[in-house]
Amino acid sequence: MFKPVDSQIYRYLVQFHTGRLRPVKARELAVKFNTTIRDVNEEIRQLRKAMVLVGSSKVGPSGYYIPANEEEARIYLSSFKDELFDMLQTYNKQKRARKVHLESLQTKDLFRTDPQNAGQLIFV
């Protein structure tokens, strides 16, 4: 079972990267702990699932950090919420696109191209 207190990455973040202005990139963590970027990102995901607040920023300075106060936590969660909302919008649009796509496939089955008649569509 994953325990946040056993995480070297978590202890390192708390000690050296507390505060939104002191983030560290996954690449740097991977080098420091002799692992892969994928493993670093997975451990961050596990920490978050274990209810450890690990902030991240995609704009300068970018990387992972431990929020130093309520304001930093609020800013991080707000950006997380915006990203989730965008994903939900994309999901709903893709569901609608799937419906349109399936309907177009059914329509294609009703017609075929007649090569002997200059490629005209004919009803099957």
In tens, the pLDDT along 74-84 reads: 999 998 888 89
**Which comes out higher in pLDDT, residue 90 or 110?**
90
pLDDT of residue 113: 63
Query: Does 53 have pLDDT greater than 60?
Result: yes
Instruction: Indicate if the pLDDT at residue 105 is higher than 60.
Output: yes
CA distance 114 to 123: 10
Residue 38, H or E segment: helix 37-49
Find the mean pLDDT for residues 30-53.
97
Helix (H) or strand (E) holding 122, with range, is: strand 120-123
* Alpha carbon distance 123, 108 (integer Å): 10
Predicted model pTM: 0.72
Task: List the domains of the chain with CATH numbers.
Answer: 4-68 (1.10.10.10)
Judge whether 36 and 30 are in contact, CB under 8 Å. yes
